[in-house]
Amino acid sequence: MVASDSFAEFLREQLAPFGHITMRRMFGKTGVFCDAVMFGMVTDNTLYFRVDDENRETFREAASFPPLNYAKQGGTIDLSFWRVPERLFDEPDELIAWARAALAAARRVAAKRERTAPGRKSKPRPHSLS
């Protein structure tokens, strides 16, 4: 389920100090973006932040909740998004710190995908005439 309009507005208010937040419906969920990078996801009005090996310790508290995943061909696909504890909505500075860590992870994931994407060609470099 995508984020309700009221929950999406609530998140924009909560994350306003973080920067320009946009949301887009995708695959039955809502992606949460900052600077065109998806660092969060909402399903059933529950916020999840991007996790990777470098910020996993920061999000240790969130590990007690099931991560965002989906079933595929008899298995479970982990999307590397962990549920944000609800208490953070009462701790705005800590919520923003978590959002920063999630955005950093999302940028690392995006950079890694760009380096390893098949068929991508690097831009040609101009020849120097020295």
- How many separate domains does the chain show? 1
Instruction: Note whether residue 19 is domain-resident.
Output: yes
Give residue 72's pLDDT: 81
**pLDDT for the residue numbered 116:** 67
* Domain at 63, CATH number: 3.30.1460.30
Residue 123 lies in a domain: no
Reported as a single tens digit per residue, the pLDDT across 72-122 is 888 777 678 999 999 999 999 999 999 999 999 999 988 887 776 565 554
Residue pLDDT, tens place only, 11-68: 999 999 888 899 999 888 999 999 899 999 999 999 999 999 899 888 888 877 777 8
User: Dihedral of the CA atoms 114, 31, 98, 12 (nearest 10)?
Assistant: 130
Does the residue 58 lie in any domain?
yes
**Could you tell me the sign of the dihedral formed by the alpha carbons of 84, 51, 53, 97, in that order?**
negative
Distance CA 22, CA 32 (A): 6
50 part of a folded domain: yes
Domain that holds residue 96: 5-116
